[in-house]
Amino acid sequence: MTDIAAVEFCSRYRGPVMEVLTGAVGAQGADGFRPVSAAVERLRAITEDARALALDEGLARWVAAAPVFFAEVDRALDAQDARALWAAVTHPEHGVDLLGRACAGQPGW
What's the confidence (pLDDT) of residue 94?
A: 93
Average pLDDT, the chain: 88
- Say whether pLDDT at 40 is over 70: yes
Measured CA to CA, the distance from residue 48 to residue 29 in angstroms comes to: 29
Which of the two residues, 101 and 1, has the higher pLDDT score?
Answer: 101
Measured CA to CA, the distance from residue 30 to residue 53 in angstroms comes to: 36
Percent of the chain residues past pLDDT 90, beyond the cut: 56
What's the confidence (pLDDT) of residue 1?
A: 47
Predicted confidence (pLDDT) per residue in 6-37, tens digit: 788 899 999 999 999 988 887 766 567 888 89
Measured CA to CA, the distance from residue 77 to residue 62 in angstroms comes to: 21
What's the confidence (pLDDT) of residue 28?
A: 65
- For the chain, what is the largest distance between any 2 Cα atoms, rounded to a whole number of angstroms? 42
User: φ and ψ at 93, to 5 degrees?
Assistant: -100, -20
User: H helices of 1-109, where?
Assistant: 3-26, 29-51, 57-79, 82-90, 97-102
